[in-house]
A and B are shown apart, each in its own frame.
Chain A
Amino acid sequence: MKKIMFLAFTLVFGSYGAYAEMSRIDDSDLSEVTGQSGVYLTGEVSFNEEGGPSDNSYFGACNVAEKECGARLTFQTQQDGGWFVLGGIRGSISFEGLTMQIRNISAASEFGGDGQFFGRDVMQIGLPESIRMNDFQFTLATGSSARPDDAGYTQVDFMTVEMSGDMTLQGNLLVFPTP
């Protein structure tokens, strides 16, 4: 359970990342960046690449046309109401060079002068230069009940998004407590 919550937390905070150094930062600024000991992460996250564990009238194997093999998240905002659906989640995201480190930002030269007044630690998750999506897709919809294999279930789909190939994603996500 802790693992899932930690996974959820890290997904919420953006995933693992990289500290991208831009060439315009000169050496004196480098020396102010503490915590070069961080961690460089390479790997992938995949959802239901070979389908999921459920097998009923709605969920099934990926090679069966009428069945859904992606993951599904659904929530209900009103008592006895219908459900919002983020479904058909499938595919993988692979990356090289997500980095994670704790960075103290206190220098005047950082963030257009903001660094000087900040003076605190942030969790810096550096995004890699490129992320490869491999047949990643998901569907947004709303449905009449919680489980699609319920009797009388109807679903109104909004759209299905499909992404594949190298995506340009760079920069650093800084996560810190407020105020």
Chain B
Amino acid sequence: MNYIYLILLLIFLSCPLSAKMKALEDDALSNVSGQTGFTMDVETNIKVDEFSYFDDSNGIALQGVSLSSAADTNALAEFHVVSDVLNDGTLSFEFTSGNVARLEVEDIRFISTPGEVQTVTDPSIGGFFFDFDIDGTFAIRNVGNGAMGPNSTAGGTFDIDFSVIDGRLGYRTNGNELFFDGMSLDVSSIGTRIGVTPDNQWNISLPNFLAELKVDAIRYSNNPANHGVTNDGTTGLPLASYGSLWANVDLSVDMFLKAGGADGVEGLTVNASSTINRLDLAWGDDTDWAASGYWVGALATTGTFDLVNMTVDILADPDAGVMPSKDYGLGLALAFERLTTNLHIQDLVLGETKSNLDAYVLDGNTPVKSVGSFDINLSFEDGTYDAIALTNVVYLQAGGNIAAGNQGLRLDAQLNLDSSSNQSNLVYTDDGLSIMASGLEAFVDGDVTIDITAAGDLNGTTFYDGLRVGFEDVAFGYRIEGNRIAESTGDSNDLKTQDLQAARYIPGLGISPSLEGVLDGHVTLGPGGNIGQEGITVNSDITVTNGSMAKFLQTNDDSTVSGVWLSGLNYDVHLRDMMLDTTSDGLQIYETESWSKLDVTDFRIGNKVSGASFGRLVIESYSVGNEKTVSAGGAGSVCIGGVGADAALCASDNGRCEDRGSQGLTIKTKKFFKDSIEAENKRNRFTWETDRVGEGTATPTNGTGMQLVFDNFTTNDGDGLTDTFGIQSEYNIDVARAPVIKKTDGADSNGVVGSKGWEKIMRADGSYEYKNPTTLTVADIANRPVGLAVRTNAQFKELDFGSVDLVHPTGGESTLLYGLKLQNFNITTDITATPLD
């Protein structure tokens, strides 16, 4: 938002206008006295070939910049400006558009000489356009020349208030475009200060920034003839849409810019800090912005954001001279010393109407389908990950994916999330009980490309319609030290003193405590879903090589990390037309076809690299027509150890009734495992290989050992013919209380004493004691330890394994079991994990 305002400001204050001005005769002016200042009707069509910024002889050039009418770029943009001096000395400008104007940049390139002639095929970041029909005021307050505000800024104080309607904001590459359509933007920034501080920094301060963005449709076009239009020029039909977007923000920001960058003499250094008083962000699918259509959103977010010493320079690719194949030329280098953000999302909502969201924003009480609250605490800083030194820098380079065309954005990024004192962590709060993914460390190092692509094969690469995020040799890794779980105090930092609990892979959600590797491939987000007109269609081909994933991770007392690791992991996954929609049930996903192969060189226990290995595991999966629904709300009321719909029935069956609240996460899936198609490498197969050549060393040779293979497993309806039921699973994830019974007499690892069979009960201050179960009161039962409760139910009519084989490296395959079928299964597991004392 800040940048659009800045652009407008620059246009109106600094760029010459080819306005039509007539000199006013003195006698005409004599009628103007003490009334509304002056009125200006501006009709303009500006084209600037190049607007560039140079830093130590390297430049970034905005080429083909133009301001014109949006409907016809040869026609004029019309504005009406009224200027006045108010009674308190404020100089005010009221501006109104006469039509929808378009501000466009055709290409952004990196150059070494101003005005050098470009060929059309030179790499470019692509084009941007902004259509707007604006109406607002800009007031310069009369505050004198003294220092203003907490930063003692010498400059001006401005009040800015404007609305944009009929807006579009688009990005074009290679004839394809993605844009916000039907956009309205309301911005108010009262008391904006711009000036220079005593230590020679340019200070832009927005102490009261309010904005609301509404985007009717996010559209995509692959017809080069379309250039920011709602309906396709050839068919006349509305362009496909991803859905609607809504953002509502109330924040204050303080930004400092000083001269001098990271390298050379010139450049820029930015420091900024922001307090977010409120942020609501939501995506709507097939919605009328009222009671029809459903939204997913993060509501009532508050937090802070602090950027320290971000340098802005134009620099050569860091791989230049080191790895020429990865040298993509000059780029805008953004390097920062530290970026800290602490955000609290009060409600993550899945499947609500806009009317309900609006009511919630107004009163904060309206019940909404909420998963719960999230706290995101991240600290990007220089540091190390597994002894590799990392810093934080992103190079914005031109070209994007090479095969897609010359336009596109490439981010050569190295980022490091530091957590030496648990500064980075994620917290989820479900009905007042919190779980923290503690001590989050992460890094990324590689090239990410962004292009808008069209379906088809180009230069040997297959592309799909949509926004394509490409990964080229992106080394990445993340790891947590474990989980900390307790009742929420309102401050996520209080969780840091809780016992650390080992973290494990959460089924359904598919998240592991640690994953590392090298990422290649792409995720392409196209428009349109499975239900209604709008939605997101995902096509993806991803490979992770040389990776390692933890299925179970514990940080020991001596800070070493032990776990169950899938190490030497090579993962290959393909998604075709996976469609996302939002319905009243939440997020609905339909996977037209998906297949994957997970090849784990060593399944290890203990240390990630040197732990003893069970051998190799290969899990191949192929399914068609899978469905998944992600909804707010967890297990609700459950009966553990018995069957009963309510507390009384449950107790009569010797069960224990638990109410896990209204928040939580539920994931329902329906999977259909299909017969193998060998020619396309699509199959469902599980292989365990051991006794390989080099088994137990760092480099075993896959394919040289003995294999046990569960081959060609498929689902069917129990008749071997139809498959309409598949495997239906439901995962409910909650943070909930569970009984913890002491297993031995004496003191536990924290020194707390109790007898065998006694129950652990939490105290209000976060400590705990053991109590005799016969003396437990109702209050005690409400203070049982908090844990991560995962309830899973899986049902299928028949899971049919084609065969179970034993494979010898030279002798080949022999069948051990000629058939294996699992029939009529309905398994429920309900496990709550609490810390081990």
Contacts and interface: CB of A to CB of B under 8 A. Distances in A.
Query: Quick check: do A and B touch in the complex, using CB within 8 A?
Result: yes
A48 B824 contact: yes
Given A18-B743, A177-B605, A75 B819 contact: yes
B818 A81 contact: yes
A141 B80 CA distance: 89
Interface in B176-227: none
Interface in A72-105: 72-81, 83, 92, 94, 96-97, 99-102, 104
Contacts of A72: 821-824
Interface residues of B, number: 95
Interface in A163-179: 175-177, 179
Contacts of B151: none
Pairs A-B, 9 closest by C-beta atoms: A121-B606, A94-B641, A52-B824, A102-B562, A76-B819, A43-B831, A38-B836, A72-B823, A54-B824
Contact of B643 (A40, A50, A68): A50
Contacts of B655: 94
Interface string B542-554: 0000000001101
A164 to B, nearest CB: 10
A34 B829 contact: no
Given A36-B557, A39-B501, A45-B828, A121 B823 contact: no
Given A43-B640, A132-B654, A177-B612, 15 more contacts: A2-B619, A4-B727, A6-B551, A30-B749, A43-B738, A43-B831, A43-B832, A45-B828, A47-B826, A52-B797, A53-B795, A59-B823, A75-B804, A102-B552, A149-B718
Interface of A: 1-7, 16, 18-23, 30, 34-54, 56, 59, 68-81, 83, 92, 94, 96-97, 99-102, 104, 120-123, 128-129, 132, 134, 146-147, 149, 175-177, 179
Contacts of A128: 743
A40 B504 CA distance: 12
A120 B610 CA distance: 10
Nearest to B796: A53
B825 A48 contact: yes
B827 A78 contact: no
| Interface secondary structure of B, over-half rule | strand
A19 to B, nearest CB: 7
Given A34-B557, A36-B836, A56-B718, A21 B500 contact: no
A1 B508 CA distance: 11
A30 B821 CA distance: 46
Interface string B731-749: 0000000111101111001
B606 A96 contact: no
Interface string B794-812: 1111110000100000000
B700 to A, nearest CB: 12
Nearest to B560: A34
B654 A134 contact: yes
Given A35-B554, A52-B795, A76-B817, A104 B606 contact: yes
B502 interface: yes
Contacts of B500: 37
A122 B605 contact: yes
B605 A96 contact: no
B818 A76 contact: yes
16 contacts: A5-B619, A7-B827, A23-B744, A30-B749, A39-B504, A39-B834, A40-B740, A43-B738, A72-B822, A72-B823, A74-B819, A74-B821, A79-B818, A121-B612, A134-B642, A134-B654
Contacts of A54: 718, 797-798, 823-824
A29 B368 CA distance: 53
Contact of A71 (B554, B684, B826): B826
